[in-house]
Amino acid sequence: MVTKEMRVGKYELGKTLGEGNSANVKLARDTVSGQSFAVKIIDKSRISRLNVSLQIKREIRTLKVLKHPNVVRLHEVLASKTNIYMVLEYVTGGDLFDRIVCEGKISEREGRKMFQQLIDGLNYCHYKGVFHRDLKLENVLLDAKGHIKITDFGRLPHVAPEVLVNKGYDGAASDIWSCGVILYAILTGCLPFDDTNLAAICRKIVKGDPPIPRWISPGAKTMIKRMLDPNPMTRITIAGIKANDWFKHDYSTPSNCHDEDDAISIQDVYEEEKTSDSPTVINAFQLIGMSLFLDLSGLFETENVSERQIRFTTNKPVVDVLDKIKTVLMEMGFCVQKKHTMLKAIQEESTRKGQGGLSVTAEVFEIIPLLNVVELRKSHGDSSLYNQLCERLSNELDT
């Protein structure tokens, strides 16, 4: 006899598959079809205490628009007075990390097939406007047939070098770097950047050029090096990967997932919620990097970080903060462009004698709801003018 506590709608809950700070995952069976699912159970009171309700909502919204054979599928969301239940595709083959730990490196033929599926899934996500930003071996699941399933939209060696040196980063380029780390681990059985010393790991990541074992084919070697290029501007793109001869070997073009019924992007979903000006949610590693005391950029460069960027914290509404920054910039003679929570401003030549032009960006990051970080960065230009801008914004924002 199934008790009420063991059942949610038509789903009968079973053993626990995993536990976290704000959610547990249980195996579940659809009592109508008999199909197995993984149900993520989120305690409403816990997410309220942890101030992560916005992140949970975004996770649900994101998963709803992703329908691809190489991405874990969200089937439906249920709710009670106390819990939220996310009914997810149940993937039985474990994750890629456990596979490599247990069996070691994977043959190039099988590894390439996995990599092709990983890139197909990632390409689809990027097409939808979704950037994973936390790709790692543990977030790549395997089904019963060994097919790749991307999940959990970090272990340090997966992080891109531009994140470590605190220069901001492009989500697509960062995902490519992480895929390069995953490909290296698939083909060698180990991570490309490893050391017992944290600073040494960071230096290796920023330098790039991991050691390539002799058994790796020239084509795979080239692919790894192109993906683990420490310069995001010259790092290979998904289009470049898919055009590569090594990648195309025995490659089967995936079925078209960009159909009309599924053409909504994650940006469209956010627009529905009127959150186009919502701040970017940053992860713990980025938060550490934002600390002046823990800023890792000093390990790699001699320039004083404070001379090119400044940060404020604020609990003011994001729209108000962005409007204030834009007003100040325009009053100082800058041409301003706005995209979501980022402002790009340029002043070709200062009206004041002896000062040159200045190019800056301002962006808002969310730590937790109602606590935001405003980051002002100088791309290039007059330092004295930049200092004046920083001082004025600090006074105007009064944060």
Q: Domain holding 343: CATH number?
A: 3.30.310.80
Q: Which residues contact 353 (CB under 8 A, 6 or more apart)?
A: none
For residue 316, is pLDDT > 50? Answer: yes
For residue 59, is pLDDT > 80? Answer: no
Contact 318, 341 (CB under 8 A): yes
Per the model's pLDDT, the better-predicted residue between 160 and 235 turns out to be 235
For residue 264, is pLDDT > 60? Answer: no
- The per-residue pLDDT for range 37-58, each reduced to its tens digit, is 999 888 877 766 555 566 667 6
Residue 29, in any domain of the structure: yes
The predicted model gives 245-250 an average pLDDT of 95
The predicted model gives 276-292 an average pLDDT of 45
- The per-residue pLDDT for range 67-95, each reduced to its tens digit, is 899 999 988 888 888 888 889 999 998 88
Q: Tell me, what's the pLDDT at 343?
A: 83
Domain tally, the chain: 3
The verdict on 61 and 121 lying in the same domain is no
Q: What is the CA radius of gyration of the chain?
A: 23
Catalytic residues: 134
For residue 275, is pLDDT > 50? Answer: no
Per the model's pLDDT, the better-predicted residue between 198 and 98 turns out to be 98
For residue 64, is pLDDT > 70? Answer: yes
Domain ends where: 89, 115, 146? 89
Of 325, 323, 320, which is closest to residue 361 (Cα–Cα)?
325
Q: Tell me, what's the pLDDT at 201?
A: 74
Q: Tell me, what's the pLDDT at 255?
A: 63
Q: How many residues are listed for the chain in this entry?
A: 399
pLDDT confidence band for 283 (50 / 70 / 90): very low
Residue 268, in any domain of the structure: no
- As a whole number of angstroms, the distance between CA 237 and CA 171 comes to 12
Provide the pairing of β-strand 371-381 with 309-314.
antiparallel
Q: What percent of the chain has pLDDT over 70?
A: 71
For residue 292, is pLDDT > 80? Answer: no
Q: Tell me, what's the pLDDT at 295?
A: 40
The verdict on 230 and 111 lying in the same domain is yes
Residue 107, in any domain of the structure: yes
Residue 328, in any domain of the structure: yes
Domain ends where: 46, 66, 89? 89
For residue 324, is pLDDT > 80? Answer: yes
The verdict on 24 and 56 lying in the same domain is yes
Contact 50, 276 (CB under 8 A): no
Q: Tell me, what's the pLDDT at 17?
A: 85
The verdict on 237 and 128 lying in the same domain is yes
- The per-residue pLDDT for range 183-228, each reduced to its tens digit, is 999 999 998 887 666 667 777 777 778 889 999 999 999 999 999 9
The verdict on 284 and 244 lying in the same domain is no
Domain ends where: 71, 89, 107? 89
pTM: 0.60
The predicted model gives 149-178 an average pLDDT of 66
Query: What CATH number is associated with residue 18?
Result: 3.30.200.20
What secondary structure letter does DSSP report for 236? Answer: P
The verdict on 175 and 48 lying in the same domain is no
Residue 108, in any domain of the structure: yes
Residue-number span of the structural domain to which 28 is assigned: 4-89
Residue 13, in any domain of the structure: yes
Contact 125, 114 (CB under 8 A): no
- The per-residue pLDDT for range 101-143, each reduced to its tens digit, is 899 999 999 999 999 999 999 999 888 878 887 788 988 999 9
Q: Tell me, what's the pLDDT at 44?
A: 78
- The per-residue pLDDT for range 352-396, each reduced to its tens digit, is 445 567 888 888 776 555 567 778 888 777 778 888 888 888 777
| Mean pLDDT computed over every residue of the chain | 76
Residue 246, in any domain of the structure: yes
3-state helix, strand, coil in the chain (%, to 5): 40, 25, 35
Per the model's pLDDT, the better-predicted residue between 253 and 285 turns out to be 253
Q: Tell me, what's the pLDDT at 163?
A: 56
The verdict on 249 and 285 lying in the same domain is no
The verdict on 316 and 201 lying in the same domain is no
Residue 197, in any domain of the structure: yes
Residue 40 annotated as part of some ligand binding site: yes
